[in-house]
Amino acid sequence: MGEEKQKNYQEWQDIVGKLDDRIFEEICYRLLNKLLFEKVKHRGGAADGGRDLEGEKTRVEPDNKTTFIEKYWFECKCYSSTIPWKDISDKLNSALLEKVDKFVILSNRGLSPDAQDHVKKFMEINKMKVIEWCGFEFLNLLFQHLDLCDTYFHGEPIPNNPPYENKSKYILKAVITLGEGFGLELEAETNVSFQINEGNIKNLILDILRKLQTHHINLVEEEKSQLFNNIGMIFSQFGLNIDAMTFVDNSLKIKNNIPALINKAIIFERLHELKESIKIYKEILKSDSENIVVLNNLARNLKNQFLLKESLEVIDKALKINPDHIPSINYKAHILKDLKKYDEALRLVNEKISDNSSTILQKTKIDVLLEAYDLKEAFRVNEQLLNLDPSDVDLINNKGVIYEHNAQYQNPEKYLKLAFETFSEARNKRADYLLALSNQIVCFLRAGNLSDAEALTNAGLAINENNPYLFHNKAKIEMQKGHLKSALGYIEKAIKISSQEKILITKAEIMILLRQNDAVDKLCRRLIEIDEKNADAMRLLAESLRRRHRTGEANKWIAKARVSARKYISLLE
């Protein structure tokens, strides 16, 4: 019942808002370097006029020879609410006295209405431009750099839906904000009747860039390459991956570079072309063998192809480079969990969990306890975290999963009802939280309620047509209805995105009914090789042998399955 647990923009604002001010400034410093600002320097507080950071941009005149310097000051504000005018007014005046060209505010929150009015008046009177990279716009810049998200937010997944407006208009807005980072004033020339949509947004932005190039873009080659690369990741974030590839390929044509190659591999991954993605990562490692981002991403792709032993070898290389890298520790714990090495996974996370560490390792600990069926301990840890953050939908969902697992052994009617209600609570807090919806479908299927399970699955697929867990549920429903070829089609779609043991077991169940006994034999032996106590795989293997009249061998596997049957460690009662 697991899935990559998406956070929306509002939740990310809260996540960033919990950072220490020094850490937030450090993120801003690294973000500015990635945007290719020069001579970026840290500043303290009032002693230097209120500057958090300052930097420069070298610009090229239209003659392609003469250069000039633009001077920037950056004000970093990590807030829990909007920024009042009094917090920036003195700093703007200090910047004006120092003849700064552009003053940039970076914050997870926006300016208050009063501050917005004052900033507008300030720019009408003075020549210095004030740029607001605040709220969602700051997050858009951050999300283009997944290595920063991994380093500071320990692998929290970024949103794949915009916070408001339609997707195409939001992409255009994000690209315009990005352009400001390169000193470009990007404008879309459209008439009133022109409707921006997913079919024309790529060409609209390419046209903007072409017109700029005609009039001269005063960017150096590296900046042009980075601009196309970042635009590609904006498209990819919101699922327009074919269009995204166009921009990243343009980046690579301008200048072959590792960040663009990594993004190309990420786009292939999001297109579910894992073999292509893996090929690029392995090529990068030939010249950059200690790139921890590449090692992590490669390990994740191998895991999603159910190549667990190879995945473990790769993540161990990452941890050799940095033993305290939280995303690598987290990936390794999940790989060990899939390998059924629960004690080793728990030892790993327990060693690394500290008072100031991200809750992501605590949540991974709960995932491992759930998979090991230590339900009482899973419930205890989950309740501890829920007391600290009662609105966390992942933790609410976990509570539902604990109830659902417990229903398999105790009071099924009571605990399935509790599970369903808890998943509803998670969905009420976040309507787009598909993991809770998927888990409700599991409850319907366990209760034998096929019609409601199918209706909810179809509703989920209307929201996200590429969700492996919904495909898995749809395959189970089609199998129960006797539509075996359709069921096999859905399960193959799920496997292409994320090849997991439970999905592969369902595939074997479908193939048994389709009398594909040799294929079942091969798949089940592969599962048993990874987990020698996989009772489900043993039973399916035995059935495939029996159907081929190999009764003696089948009986041996049935006996092994009985001995290997899953046992719980603790239950709720």
221 by Cβ neighbours in 10 Å (0-12 / 13-18 / 19+) ranks as exposed
Query: What is the length of the chain?
Result: 573
pLDDT of amino acid 314: 98
3-state DSSP assignment of residue 58: strand
pLDDT of amino acid 310: 97
* DSSP state letter for 111: B
> pLDDT higher for 510 or 201?
510
pLDDT band at 76 (very low <50, low <70, confident <90, very high): very high
CA–CA distance, 418 with 88 (Å, rounded to integer): 50
Query: 167-171, 362-366, 483-487: which has the minimum mean pLDDT?
Result: 167-171
> pLDDT higher for 138 or 67?
138
- Residue written as token pair 């070298």: 58
Residues 57/183, Cβ–Cβ less than 8 Å? yes
With 50 as the cut, is the pLDDT of residue 48 above it?
A: no
pLDDT of amino acid 64: 66
Q: Rounded mean pLDDT of 264-283?
A: 96
Mean pLDDT, the chain, integer: 90
Q: What are 150-169's pLDDT values in tens digits?
A: 888 877 788 888 887 688 88
CA–CA distance, 410 with 329 (Å, rounded to integer): 34
Percent residues over pLDDT 90 in the chain:
69
With 80 as the cut, is the pLDDT of residue 354 above it?
A: no
Instruction: For residue 54, give the nearest of 76, 34, 77 by alpha carbon.
Output: 76
Pairing of strands 129-134, 67-77: unpaired
> pLDDT higher for 211 or 425?
425
Helix pair 221-237, 241-254: axis angle to 10 deg: 170
CA–CA distance, 364 with 398 (Å, rounded to integer): 11
With 60 as the cut, is the pLDDT of residue 521 above it?
A: yes
pLDDT of amino acid 214: 44
Residues 433/8, Cβ–Cβ less than 8 Å? no
Residue 316: how many CA atoms within 13 Å on its side-chain side? Answer: 7
Amino acid at 550: R
Q: Rounded mean pLDDT of 416-437?
A: 94
R_g of the chain computed on alpha carbons: 26
CA–CA distance, 260 with 231 (Å, rounded to integer): 11
Backbone angles phi, psi at 79, to 5 degrees: -125, 160
pLDDT of amino acid 199: 84
pLDDT of amino acid 432: 83
Backbone angles phi, psi at 378, to 5 degrees: -60, -45
Instruction: For residue 79, give the nearest of 71, 87, 69, 70 by alpha carbon.
Output: 87
CA distances in angstroms from 357 to 152, 296, 351, 379, listed in the order given: 11, 19, 11, 20
pLDDT of amino acid 108: 94
pLDDT of amino acid 167: 85
CA angle 58, 62, 63 (to 5 degrees): 100
pLDDT of amino acid 359: 82
CA–CA distance, 37 with 58 (Å, rounded to integer): 8
540 by Cβ neighbours in 10 Å (0-12 / 13-18 / 19+) ranks as buried
Q: What are 444-467's pLDDT values in tens digits?
A: 999 999 999 999 999 999 988 889
With 50 as the cut, is the pLDDT of residue 286 above it?
A: yes
With 70 as the cut, is the pLDDT of residue 342 above it?
A: yes
CA–CA distance, 279 with 556 (Å, rounded to integer): 41
DSSP-derived secondary structure for 482-513: T-HHHHHHHHHHHHHH---HHHHHHHHHHHHH
Q: What are 295-307's pLDDT values in tens digits?
A: 999 999 999 999 9
Q: What are 169-200's pLDDT values in tens digits?
A: 889 888 988 888 877 777 766 554 557 788 88
CA–CA distance, 262 with 253 (Å, rounded to integer): 15
pLDDT of amino acid 62: 65
572 by Cβ neighbours in 10 Å (0-12 / 13-18 / 19+) ranks as middle
Q: Which two tokens stand for residue 150?
A: 């991994």
With 70 as the cut, is the pLDDT of residue 87 above it?
A: yes
Instruction: For residue 364, give the nearest of 325, 386, 395, 400 by alpha carbon.
Output: 395
pLDDT of amino acid 215: 45
Backbone angles phi, psi at 144, to 5 degrees: -75, -10
CA angle 116, 119, 120 (to 5 degrees): 85
With 80 as the cut, is the pLDDT of residue 65 above it?
A: no
Q: Which helix (H) or strand (E) holds 104?
A: strand 102-107
pLDDT of amino acid 415: 97
